[in-house]
Amino acid sequence: MAGVIFEIMKKELSSYLTQKSTILRNVIFLVMFGALTIYNLMRLVDQYGSAPIYISAGLNVLLALAAIFPVQMAGGISVMAFPVERDQKTLEHLLSLPLSDRQIFLGKFLAAVIAGITGLVLIFGVVFGFTFINYNVSPNALFADNSLNLMAFVICPMLVVLLILLTVVVSSRISARETYIVNIFSVFILLGLNIAVATLNIDPVTFNEVVAAILAIGIVIMYVVGTKTFNRESLIKSL
């Protein structure tokens, strides 16, 4: 089972990463969201100073903004999961192969997750690289704050996974264009989280723990919904 999932995943990633337009789009988005996050961080530092505790608090808010990049990056590959297969008329043959629904779903989903996590690593590399070099802050000092740990290593990856799951699940039922709308919806969720972290007067660690718990539940529900509702018949009927 794992071998087939790996083959589908590998093919999806290979098709995605060999498109020049995709590379160009991702570079532009990386620069754009990296610059936007860094610009906002600089404004916060100008306002509150460059002590690690303030930078850490600032990043806790801004990382949700930066996470738009990996979601967008994964969005491109999620669209390829089913809508592009449908448009290219390759879906019916794929579904006629001796693969289980779960294998097809997981192969497509994991390819998007890898793209998303890669995007997350890239944007965090840019943001944290700038922070470490420009403000001369040590990683230990920056990550002394648990809320940032949760945000960077738990919430953002989970958000990316959840939004990718949402896109892949929905993409089996809608067109490529409509899938991009789901992507934009995902951006609003991230911006909403960004605003909530910045404005709600709640202990950041508690807030992040609650968000992480909600995301974990969301991922489980979305995975169950995705695998249970995914079936060949609905895809074939949509051709």
Q: Is 138 helix (H, G, I), strand (E, B) or coil?
A: coil
Three-point CA angle 183, 121, 217, nearest 5°: 55
Report, in Å, the least distance between residue 114 CB and other proteins. 18
Give the nearer residue to other proteins in terms of CB position, either 78 or 186: 78
233 belongs to the binding site for other proteins (CB under 8 A): yes
Report d(CA 84, CA 205) in Å as an integer. 41
Report, in Å, the least distance between residue 85 CB and other proteins. 8
176 belongs to the binding site for other proteins (CB under 8 A): no
Report, in Å, the least distance between residue 98 CB and other proteins. 4
Report, in Å, the least distance between residue 238 CB and other proteins. 12
Report d(CA 57, CA 53) in Å as an integer. 6
Residue 170 tokens, joined: 């929905």
Residues 18, 21, 140, 199: which binds other proteins (CB under 8 A)? Answer: 18
- Encode 60-109 in three state secondary structure: HHHHHHHCHHHHHHHHHHHHHHHHHHHHCCCHHHHHCCCCCHHHHHHHHH
Give the nearer residue to other proteins in terms of CB position, either 21 or 47: 21
Report, in Å, the least distance between residue 45 CB and other proteins. 44
| Tokens 């600032």, residue located | 58
236 belongs to the binding site for other proteins (CB under 8 A): yes
Give the nearer residue to other proteins in terms of CB position, either 126 or 235: 235
Q: Which of 49, 118, 37 shows the shortest CA–CA distance to 77?
A: 118
CB-CB contact of 177 with 200 (8 Å): no
4 belongs to the binding site for other proteins (CB under 8 A): yes
- DSSP secondary structure code for residue 18 in this structure: T
Residue 91 tokens, joined: 């879906």
Binding window for other proteins (CB under 8 A); candidates: 1-9, 124-132, 151-159, 213-221? 1-9
47 belongs to the binding site for other proteins (CB under 8 A): no
Number of H helices, E strands in the chain: 13, 0
Report, in Å, the least distance between residue 86 CB and other proteins. 9
Q: x/- string (CB under 8 A) for other proteins, residues 80-119? A: --------xxx-xxxxxxxxx-------------------
Residues 46, 47, 228, 237: which binds other proteins (CB under 8 A)? Answer: 237
Q: How many residues does the chain have?
A: 239
Sites of contact with other proteins (CB under 8 A): 3-4, 7-8, 11, 15, 18-19, 88-90, 92-100, 232-233, 236-237, 239
